[in-house]
Amino acid sequence: MREILRVEGLKMYFGGLKAVDNLDMSVYQHKTLGVIGPNGAGKTTLFNAICGVYKPTGGKVILNGQEVQGSKPYEIARKGIARTFQISKPLHDLTILDNIIAASGVHQYTGVSSFFKKSHTREVVEKAEAVMEMVGLTEIARKKARDVSLGYLRRLEIARVLVTNPQLIMLDEPCAGLSNFAINEITELILKLKAQGQTIVLIEHNLPITMKVCDRILVLNYGQKIAEGTPSEVQQEKQVIEAYLGEEDED
Ligand SMILES: Nc1ncnc2c1ncn2[C@@H]1O[C@H](COP(=O)(O)OP(=O)(O)O)[C@@H](O)[C@H]1O
Ligand SMILES: [Mg+2]
C-alpha cells in the first residue's frame, strides 16, 4: 500500500486553543479514510492545516515523501490535494458547466476574469462534461449555480475537485444539511469514486455514513486522536461512544 499523505505530530493552535494537537495520520492510495468527531473537534482545522489555509503551529505534512507544511493553498493543490469546503463556494453567476471548467483553474485559470478572457480548449470542455456526467449534473448543466439546491452544489463541489485530476480528495462534510435523499446520493457518489480507485479523506459528522464508505476511521476529540481503526474496531471503542453520547445538541 502506497502512502500518499502522512501527517506527523501536527499542531494547529489558536492562541491557547489547541484545535489540532500532535496528530499523526496516514492516507493510503485507493483507500478512504474517515475523520469523525463532535462539532469543534478540529476536523476542518486539520484539513486547513494540511491544505495550506493555515500554517501549522508545528509538525509535518508529507505528501509523496516530500514535506509540504507551510506551503500556500495553490501550491498544495498543484501537488495533487484537492478539497471541498464545508460551506459551498461556487461562482454563483456561472453555469454548472462553467463552474466545473473554471475549476480546471489550478492549472489554467487564476480567477473569474482570466476565465472569461480565455477560450477553453476542446479537451478542457470534454473533461468537464465527463466529470459533470459522472457526478450526475448533466441535466442542469446550463443553470446558474445560484439557482440550484444545496444537494446539487455539493455535487458541484465534488465535480470541481475531480476535474483537477487530484491524487487525493478531501471532502469536508459533504452531506451536512442535506435531506436523506440527497445524503444517499452523495454517499453513492463517494462509493463510485472509491470504486474508481480514488484516494479519499472524508470528514463526516454522521457515523453510519462513515461506517458505510470508509476503510479506516480516525476519531478526533478536542484536537486529539482518540481512536483509529476499521469501522468495526472504532465502533467498539468506549471513548468514541462517550465522545458521541456526550454531545447533547445533535444537529
Ligand atoms: N481561525 C480560527 N481562529 C480561532 N479558532 C478557530 C479557528 N478555526 C477554528 N477554530 C476553533 O478550533 C476548534 C476546532 O474547530 P473546527 O476545526 O472547525 O472543528 P470541526 O470541523 O471538527 O467542527 C473550535 O474550537 C473552533 O472554534
Ligand atoms: Mg468542520
Q: Is 77 in the pocket of ligand 1 (CB under 6 A)?
A: no
- The reported pLDDT for the residue numbered 82 is 92
C-alpha cell at position 223: 484536537
The mean per-residue pLDDT over the stretch 162-182 comes to 94
- Ligand 1, atom 11, lies closest to the CA of 19
Q: Decide which of 117 and 17 is more confident.
A: 17
The mean per-residue pLDDT over the stretch 70-84 comes to 92
CB 178 within 8 A of CB 147: no
Q: Is 55 in the pocket of ligand 1 (CB under 6 A)?
A: no
Examine the pLDDT at 251 and tell me if it is beyond 50: no
DSSP state of 120: P
Examine the pLDDT at 86 and tell me if it is beyond 70: yes
Q: Distance between CA atoms of 118 and 249, rounded to whole angstroms?
A: 48
Examine the pLDDT at 85 and tell me if it is beyond 90: no
Q: Distance between CA atoms of 193 and 191, rounded to whole angstroms?
A: 5
According to CATH, what is the number of the domain 1-80+166-251?
3.40.50.300
Closest of 53, 100, 89, 81 to residue 201, by C-alpha: 81
The mean per-residue pLDDT over the stretch 46-62 comes to 97
- The reported pLDDT for the residue numbered 118 is 60
Question: Which range is least confidently modeled, 77-81, 102-106, 206-210?
Answer: 102-106
Examine the pLDDT at 227 and tell me if it is beyond 60: yes
- CA distance readout (Å), 232 to 23, 68, 93, 190: 22, 33, 44, 20
148: helix, strand or coil = coil
- The reported pLDDT for the residue numbered 113 is 57
Which ligand 1 atom lies nearest to the CA of residue 48? Answer: 17
Q: Is 198 in the pocket of ligand 1 (CB under 6 A)?
A: no
- The reported pLDDT for the residue numbered 104 is 82
Give the pairing of strands 81-83 and 168-172.
parallel
- Cα angle at 251 between 246 and 14, to 5 degrees? 70
Examine the pLDDT at 250 and tell me if it is beyond 50: no
- What is the percentage of the chain residues whose pLDDT exceeds 90? 74
CB 236 within 8 A of CB 243: no
Q: Is 42 in the pocket of ligand 1 (CB under 6 A)?
A: yes
Q: Distance between CA atoms of 159 and 157, rounded to whole angstroms?
A: 5
Q: Is 116 in the pocket of ligand 1 (CB under 6 A)?
A: no
Which ligand 1 atom lies nearest to the CA of residue 47? Answer: 17
| Terminal-residue alpha carbon distance, the chain | 37
Q: Is 87 in the pocket of ligand 1 (CB under 6 A)?
A: no
Question: What does the mean pLDDT of the chain come to?
Answer: 90
- The reported pLDDT for the residue numbered 135 is 97
- The domain ranges of the chain are 1-80+166-251, 87-165
- The reported pLDDT for the residue numbered 122 is 84
pLDDT digits (tens, 9 = 90+) for 139-168: 999 999 999 999 999 999 999 999 999 999
Distance 39 CA to ligand 2 centre (A): 7
Tell the burial category of 240 from Cβ atoms under 10 Å away from its Cβ (0-12, 13-18, 19+).
buried
The mean per-residue pLDDT over the stretch 223-241 comes to 87
CB 199 within 8 A of CB 186: no
Q: Decide which of 180 and 117 is more confident.
A: 180
Residue 207 pLDDT class (50, 70, 90 cuts) = confident
Phi and psi angles of residue 73, each rounded to the nearest 5 degrees, phi first: -50, -40
- The reported pLDDT for the residue numbered 248 is 47
C-alpha cell at position 127: 473533461
Q: Which ligand is nearest to the CA of 172?
A: 2
Q: Which residues surround ligand 2, an ion (CB under 5 A)?
A: 43-44
Task: Answer positive or negative: Cα dihedral of 132, 136, 142, 144.
Answer: negative
Q: Is 44 in the pocket of ligand 1 (CB under 6 A)?
A: yes
Residue 87 pLDDT class (50, 70, 90 cuts) = confident
Task: Answer positive or negative: Cα dihedral of 51, 154, 97, 188.
Answer: positive
- The reported pLDDT for the residue numbered 249 is 46
Q: Which ligand is nearest to the CA of 45?
A: 1
